[in-house]
Structure 1
Amino acid sequence: MTARPVRRPIGAITRGTTGHNRLRRSDRWISAVCGPLLRSSADARPLVVDLGYGASHITTYELFTRLRRVHPAVEVVGVEIDPERVAAAKPYEREGLSFRRGGFELPVARSPLVVRAFNVLRQYAEAEAWEHWDLMRSRIAPDGVIVEGTCSEVGHRAVWAALGAEGPRTLTFAARFTGFERPSDLAERLPKTLIHRNVPGERVHAFLTDWDRAWAACAPYGSYGSRQRWIRTAEALARDWPIATAPPAGGPARWRLGELTLPWTAVGP
């Protein structure tokens, strides 16, 4: 694969924090929600980019192995702005998995069908984050998807937005059931464009407030386990909010994993 020529990668070097299974929650969502897109692609080797994989190649490798179960010929390219991190990852390349230097310009020869960009935008101002969203959207395939989000150090709390070429589509919350006290604890992982809007009068704040209220009301289901409480909370919340209630992004199969997805328009600025 020949990379697009670039003079200088667009973006700044991140801390590079990573670790085994840190992005497992987003990986399984990508596999389920973007799996049909990968399998139906006219490209025999659909391209996926993992942007800003950090100091270790491991999360890119994990994404590769998981997506190979979805599509046996998928190609994954890990893109990092730090040349030393790219050099460290090179020995782990194999057929279908490669690493190269780059940034938000996505320096690959073909338009990717899926881009995962995790923990790469928190250091930017909101206006800059929107600019980087726009740049990535201009580089993906017409039917492509960008999954951009942040997670906690060990991945027990995560929030991500799914974007198409037209703009943001959905917002997904995901958590380990023992990793929070109330759903609004996930607010610290909101995308850059929402994290400062978790205040009264904003839609995202109203949603999180209602979610906390529903979580408290469903406390009796906790005697059957946190999973059952989460599912019942999602059912209650869906009466007033457009929660995804059917596959691939919603319904009990996703809720039991500690996920909740709703349209961006319901919470966006």
Structure 2
Amino acid sequence: MNKPVGAITRGTTAHNRLRRCDRWIAAVHGRRLRAVDRPLVVDLGYGASHVTTLELFTRLRRVSPGVEVVGIEIDPARVAVAKPYEREGLSFRLGGFELPVSRPPVLIRAFNVLRQYAEAEAWHYWDVLRGRLAPYGVLVEGTSSENGRRAVWVGLSSRGPETITFSARFDAFERPSDLADRLPKTLIHRNVPGERIHTFLRDFDHAWAVSAPYGVHGARQRWLAAVQALAGTWPVPTRPPLGGAARWRLGEVTLPWPAVSPRD
């Protein structure tokens, strides 16, 4: 076997750390999974515990009973620890960005993997992983806080990045721009004046501020009002599966990637 491609991450993880993203994947891409016979999903870089891969498998089985999930880790010790938890449809393998699987995956989830890489490397591995996808497949790459209460992820197809989603518990931030520390590596250093992502977060903070009166009805109502206001000037999807009140009330908002992409 060739040496796995990539570097070992810190491996920190926790129960439900990726629940917000899993919930989004099931809602937005459940139909994509159901359209394929034996859809393959890869969880790349699951960390020191198998738990988030098992949770992904359990949640996706509810929307696509035939889904198969493979957890891939570059650290042999982590794979050995996860192996006893294998079951029909769920397995764990040693590997990295080369993805040692038998067929192209319909979906790849890679969370908290690329933060240790330089920006240029992150762009490169986006391209590498997109090249591993099945036709019409999707890569979901993102970052979450240690407890999963704040997260940002990007949805990519074989053509490139297409969406970016911001998600947070309502008690996990003071203003929306607090999510800036969860931006993907391709954007986190671009949160400066003159860049689209900086303008978006500034405008989101403003919408949050002017929606303060709705806070008497709770933070959820304030968030709903803020996102609705934001949708007046930003291309926020307002209908399912990416948008609308059903998604916003979860503390979530999605944008087309070009709205925040780096100017260069």
User: What is the match of residue 12 of structure 1?
Assistant: 7
State the 1:244 CA deviation: 1.3
Residue in 2 aligned with 1:67?
60
CA distance in 2, matches of 1:242, 1:225: 25
Instruction: For 1:188 and 1:149, locate their aligned partners in 2 and report how far apart those are by CA, in whole Å.
Output: 12
1:142, 1:210 → 2: CA distance? 36
Q: How does 1:1-269 map to 2 (within 5 A)?
A: 6-41=1-36, 44-269=37-262
Tell me, what secondary structure is at the counterpart of 2:187? Answer: helix
> What TM-score do the two structures reach when normalised by structure 1?
0.97
Matched residue type, 1:31: A
Q: 1:104 deviation in Å?
A: 1.0
Counterpart amino acid of 2:40? L
In structure 1, C-alpha distance between the alignment counterparts of 2:261 and 2:96, rounded to whole Å: 26
Query: How far has the Cα of 1:8 moved from its partner?
Result: 1.2
Distance 1:34 1:201 in 2: 33
**Displacement after TM superposition at 1:242 (Å):** 0.3
Distance 1:186 1:65 in 2: 27
Q: Alpha-carbon deviation of 1:40?
A: 1.4
Structure 2: gaps of 5 or more residues:
none
The SS at the match of 2:171 is: coil
CA distance in 2, matches of 1:51, 1:130: 16
Shift of 1:147: 0.4
The residue type paired with residue 77 of structure 2 is: E
Percent of aligned positions that are identical: 72
Distance 2:98 2:127 in 1: 10
Letter in 1 for 2:189: H
Alpha-carbon distance in 2 for matches of 1:239, 1:59: 36
Stretches of structure 1 lacking an aligned partner (at least 5 in a row):
1-5
Equivalent-residue separation in structure 2 for 1:198 and 1:119 (angstroms)? 19
TM-score, structure 2 normalization = 0.98
Whichever residue aligns with residue 204 of structure 2, its letter is W
Alignment-mate amino acid for residue 88 of structure 2: E
Q: How far apart, CA to CA, are the structure 1 residues paired with 2:126 and 2:4?
A: 15
CA distance in 2, matches of 1:115, 1:72: 18
Taking the aligned partners of 1:138 and 1:114, their CA distance within structure 2 comes to: 12
**Cα distance, 1:187 vs structure 2:** 0.4
Q: Deviations over 1:28-84 (max 9, x none)?
A: 00000010101112xx21000000000000000000000000111100000000000
- Distance, in Å, in 2 between the alignment partners of 1:149 and 1:11 is 17
